[in-house]
Amino acid sequence: MTVSQFPALQFPLSKGSRHLAYSSVGDVNSPHVLLCLPGLLETRATFDPLLQAADGLQGLRVISVDLCGRGDSSCLPGDKGYTMQVYLEDIEHFIRHELMPDGKPVPHIDVLGTSMGGILAMYLAHDAHNHVSGLFFNDIGLDLPWMSIYGLYDGMKQAGRLPTPEEMAEQFNVSIGAVLAVQSPSHFDLPYRKDWKGMKFGHLLNGFKGPVRLMHGGNSGVCTPQQVKALQREFAKAQVLEVADAAHPVPFNAVVNQFVLQALHLPAATPAKPDPVHQAPVQQALQTTMPFDTPVAAPQPKAMPELLAEPEPVQPAAATVQEGTEPRVGLLGLLKQLLGATKK
């Protein structure tokens, strides 16, 4: 079972009696916040190594969140109704009340999203009211190729078979309802664009001027070299880290953590309690295998490239999401449609 090493803090939601669970390190009044969103069936525990590396840095608060039905967050009523729209609304409520309480300055907010969390990050950045100043994508590009969905499907298999919903719920510390929901055509209910290659989200960042960073696996079947080049064409100053031998997603090891923390360009990113003799090395935590978001064991990251200087981030301009005419479908729903099409 995937359980975070950090205490579960509770954020009450305005609708009903639900709450979101989250972990946090750093002063609540820090001027800089890094909000971490997990993948499809991940929990906030996946970010534990990053929180450990950031603990004690001055001027920075790092937060990881359990989406509903995952980890220590509440399930939805009847353990039903899990959709991307619900996740987005919950996170927006969290941002606007926990990170921007009345009477306090709005902090500089960066969002780090793994896989599905990266897609949610694009929708968050699209709305200027969320005050997203910078983005980190963990092995997800500006679109999701149809062929990548086949890879995600294969990533669910264990010992040559698909685990039962009960097995997945127990192993990954999520509700059975959440497991079943991601297999439903109604799970991905946010508007998006598509073409013959796949689902497209890049238009959500039209006008976004903040820094964009990407960590991708050298062996990833989701964020391919073509996806990396496409992102770099749209964001010429994007910082990119390739992790050799990693699949999907990138694990938060010492090199990845260093890349993330350095890319924040904190004005005083020094340990609050430095060791007078030596600085303890960043702990490289083992990554827990997740369905859809499965890193290979013990990846050996490449040396971190020279970081590019970035302009001072500005707030993203509001735009209108253009809703496509395609049906709203989940990842496995798309897969089922594709498999059905090939049989005809």
Is 112 in a helix, a strand, or coil?
Answer: strand
Q: CA 13 → CA 17, 129, 221, 268, distances in Å? A: 7, 18, 36, 33
Which pLDDT tens digit goes with each residue over 163-197? Answer: 899 999 999 999 999 999 998 889 999 999 999 98
- Per-residue pLDDT at 84: 97
Amino acid at 157: K
Q: Which CATH number belongs to the domain containing residue 104 in this structure?
A: 3.40.50.1820
Closest by Cα among 216, 304, 290, 222 to 258: 304
Closest by Cα among 24, 262, 235 to 122: 235
- Per-residue pLDDT at 311: 41
In this structure, is residue 3 part of a structural domain? no
**Strand ranges in 123-275 using DSSP code E only, listed in sequence order:** 132-138, 143-145, 193-194, 198-200, 212-217, 239-243
What pLDDT band is residue 6 in, cutting at 50, 70 and 90?
Answer: very high
Two tokens at 223? Answer: 């964020």
In this structure, is residue 1 part of a structural domain? no
Two tokens at 27? Answer: 């002063």
In this structure, is residue 4 part of a structural domain? no
In this structure, is residue 95 part of a structural domain? yes
On whether the CB atoms of residues 204 and 321 are closer than 8 A, the answer is: yes
Distance CA 344, CA 342 (A): 6
Two tokens at 170? Answer: 């127990």
In this structure, is residue 96 part of a structural domain? yes
- DSSP, res 178: H
Two tokens at 265? Answer: 């360009």
- Per-residue pLDDT at 310: 43
- Per-residue pLDDT at 159: 67
Contacts of 37 (CB under 8 A, 6+ apart): 65, 67, 91, 111, 112, 113, 114, 117, 118, 120, 121
Report the share of the chain in percent with pLDDT over 90: 67
Two tokens at 207? Answer: 């006008």
pLDDT: which is higher, 95 or 303: 95
- Per-residue pLDDT at 71: 97
- Per-residue pLDDT at 119: 97
Averaged pLDDT score across all residues of the chain: 82
Contacts of 241 (CB under 8 A, 6+ apart): 213, 214, 215, 216, 250, 255, 256, 259, 301, 302, 304, 305
- Per-residue pLDDT at 19: 97
On whether the CB atoms of residues 53 and 257 are closer than 8 A, the answer is: yes
Taking the mean position of all CA atoms in its chain, how far away is CA 43?
10
In this structure, is residue 2 part of a structural domain? no
- Output the CA angle 54-55-56, nearest 5 degrees: 110
In this structure, is residue 294 part of a structural domain? yes
Phi, psi of 174 (to 5 degrees): -130, 165
Q: What is the DSSP string of 283-316?
A: P-PPPPP-SSSBPPSS--PPPPPPPPP-PPP-PP
Which pLDDT tens digit goes with each residue over 112-147? Answer: 999 999 999 999 999 999 999 999 999 999 999 888
Distance CA 257, CA 54 (A): 8
- Domain span holding position 139: 9-343
Tally the domains of the chain. Answer: 1
Closest by Cα among 85, 61, 116 to 332: 116
Which pLDDT tens digit goes with each residue over 9-56? Answer: 999 997 668 999 999 999 999 999 999 999 999 999 999 999 999 999
* pLDDT exceeds 90 at position 263: yes
Distance CA 73, CA 54 (A): 23
Which pLDDT tens digit goes with each residue over 289-342? Answer: 344 454 433 444 444 444 444 444 444 444 444 444 344 445 555 544 544 444
Is 146 in a helix, a strand, or coil?
Answer: helix
Q: What is the average pLDDT across 53-77?
A: 97
On whether the CB atoms of residues 21 and 8 are closer than 8 A, the answer is: yes
Phi, psi of 320 (to 5 degrees): -105, 125
- DSSP, res 105: P
pLDDT: which is higher, 69 or 310: 69
What pLDDT band is residue 2 in, cutting at 50, 70 and 90?
Answer: confident
- Per-residue pLDDT at 154: 62
